[in-house]
Amino acid sequence: MKILVAGAGGFIGGHLVSRLKADGHKLTCVDIKPLEYWFQIFDDNQNFSLDLKEFENCKKILKDGIEYVFNMACNMGGMGFIENNKAECMLSVLINTNLLRASLQKKVKKYLFSSSACVYNQDKQKNSFIDGLKEIDSYPALPEDGYGWEKLFSERMCNHFYEDFGLNVRIIRYHNVYGPFGTFDGGREKAPAALCRKVINAKLNNIKEIEVWGDGEQTRSFMYINDCIEGTLKIFESNYNKVLNLGSSEQVSINELLNKIEKISNYNFKRNYDLNKPKGVRGRSSDNTLLKDVIGWEPRTSLDDGIKKTYEWIAEEIKTKRNLKKFSKY
């Protein structure tokens, strides 16, 4: 198949490109970042650095013959980024709007939009451990300000392009994706990567405490990247064109996540809780009832297995950079 992956230079986008390439598809890849900043890049794909908020760029990249679009592109990061960059997050609505318009013009056969669990009503996420959120729990609307509103609006835009114009859409709500080849520092990283980095650096530098945002009792479910890609392709290949959750139902507190990382690292430390840092909603987890009904599958990688692989990858990255910095003096 001839496929466009928007946001190909990002974390999920890079893993998706890797899988689609391995499956033998012909790929056009685009991201706003310069090529040297893409998380994964494959030279035998067509790779472009373009701002898809511009309609002309969307038309340019959707060359004649492209049949399928995976829209993974948006300006986002962990809670530290989302809470402090609301306008920047909301501007991503232009990417989805203009890609939809261009896809309609170019007669694209199928269009997938990557949404987020940040669309869910915050009033339903006030307790630490909650029942999994069902797709219907996004209404009445009260999503995360900025990023959540952009995703919810873009979901509706996809629905209306299907209803009004017949564009074949797929809409996926991702729940906290983590794994290797992702951001682990710089301000956009999410909790699993950030906590792995903090513990690794503490161990390397013999530091006996780490900073934790919030009181550690806020909960999430975390989905390993391999499950994310597998579920994405299963949903894409299905006949279901309404919103679907894609996330793990294994809900844990940040403290429980830290316990797992502490065990993996074989390093004991004190937790310094900062209640003034961004921490998001109190509790969130995915209800996978509809997902299992539609595709007969749900994420299967345990947090123990996934976080171990993630920790080991980040540790190797940090040690490599540390060694390069040390030997660059000579």
pLDDT (tens digit per residue) in 142-184: 999 999 999 999 999 999 999 999 999 999 999 999 999 999 9
Query: Residue for token digits 């797929």?
Result: 170
Mean pLDDT of 304-324: 91
Residues 180, 36, 90, 281, Cα dihedral to 10°: 20
**How far, in Å, CA of 58 to CA of 61, rounded?**
5
Looking at residue 329, its pLDDT comes to 37
Instruction: Please name which of 73, 117, 103 lies closest in space to residue 291, comparing C-alpha atoms.
Output: 117
Residue 147: active-site member: yes
163: which 2 tokens? Answer: 């209803």
Looking at residue 63, its pLDDT comes to 81
Catalytic residue among 147, 162, 174, 224: 147
Query: 283-293: b or e for each residue (b if 16 or more CB lie within 10 Å)?
Result: bbbbbbebbee
Looking at residue 322, its pLDDT comes to 66
Longest dimension (CA), the chain: 64
- Check whether 328 has a pLDDT greater than 50: no
Looking at residue 323, its pLDDT comes to 63
DSSP for residue 131: P
Looking at residue 78, its pLDDT comes to 82
Task: Give the CA distances from residue 290 to residues 51, 246, 247, in Å, rounded to whole numbers and listed in that order.
Answer: 35, 10, 12
Percent of the chain with pLDDT over 70: 97
- Check whether 234 has a pLDDT greater than 50: yes
**H runs (alpha helix) in the chain:** 11-22, 55-61, 79-82, 86-90, 93-105, 147-165, 191-204, 225-237, 254-265, 289-295, 303-327
- Check whether 240 has a pLDDT greater than 90: yes
Ordered by where they begin, the domains of the chain are: 2-178+223-246 (3.40.50.720), 191-220+250-285+301-324 (3.90.25.10)
DSSP for residue 166: -
Percent of the chain with pLDDT over 90: 91
- Check whether 69 has a pLDDT greater than 50: yes
Instruction: Label residue 85 by pLDDT band (50, 70, 90).
Output: very high
Q: What is the pLDDT of residues 255-272, one digit of tens each?
A: 999 999 999 999 999 999
- Check whether 330 has a pLDDT greater than 70: no
